[in-house]
Amino acid sequence: MDLDLTGRTAFVSGSTQGIGHAVAAALVAEGMSVVVHGRDAGRVEDAVARLVAAAPSPAVRVHGIAADVAERTEVGRLLAELDALGPVDVLVNNVGLFGVAAFTDVADDEWHRYLEVNLMSAVRLSRHLLPPMLERGWGRVLFVGSESGVDVPANMVHYGVTKAALLALGNGLAKLTRGTAVTVNTVLGGPTWSDGVADAVEGLARQQGLDPAALRTALAAERPTSLLGRFIEPDELAGLLAYLASPRSSAVNGAALRADGGVLTTLL
């Protein structure tokens, strides 16, 4: 299927690795110009180089911006640099923090950090980029959500709460697009074998003297409701997000689409 994305431009937050990078790569493969983002300038440059090398034609432009979205001043600079690159047709709100911690061990400062990165980055980016999309008459705002926003895990309450708030944000913003060709949608990912998860599992395996591959299998088995019976690969989410970024998805708006591998047991 031709997704008809050639000539359009996307900004993908948190796209130097993991799901974000997979989404950026999928959009570049469709002929879309992409602006990648991360906290570390070196990693941003590396991600840009990889995407440029994979671009299907010289007309596909890839730029990078390094900024810490936990800092408001950094977000302001990011938005100014983004404006200088030209109009953004597709915003993918992907950047996020996750971590296992007991509810009583998560102090206020950590709560604020999770809220700033997981929620407020999406608020600020959407607030800046959605109005121009409405003025131009076409656009896509996408949120990379999580099944943890629907079924909040007891060992990651702080994470789950921010993902639940992200769902509410997407639901509300979609109502602002009524009668236009702009859409707002959320993808509810399930347990995904991203770079961050892989690093965490390898670190845990070293601490416990376990084989990382065996630990990966054991962790997947801890989610007995999963119909996949394994971790999701970032590319599997990227394909759905690329479709939602395209004009082909024009009838999908205000939706929370599950790509959770069957972990959630609800009918809808």
Q: What is the DSSP letter of 103?
A: G
Query: Which of 20, 4, 3 has its CA nearest to residue 12?
Result: 20
Q: Shortest CA distance to 121 belongs to which of 257, 249, 11, 46? A: 11
Examine the residue annotation and report whether 159 is marked as an active-site residue of this protein: yes
Cβ neighbours for 129, distance < 8 A, ≥ 6 positions apart:
11, 82, 88, 91, 139, 141
Catalytic residue among 159, 163, 182, 223: 159
The tokens 């999406």 sit on which residue? 122
3-state helix, strand, coil in the chain (%, to 5): 50, 15, 35
DSSP string, 124-185: HHHHHHHHHHHHHT-EEEEEEEEGGGTS--GGGHHHHHHHHHHHHHHHHHHGGGTTSSEEEE
Q: Which helix H or strand E contains 261, and what residues bound it?
A: none
Give residue for tokens 């993902």. 163
Q: What is the set of active-site residues? A: 159
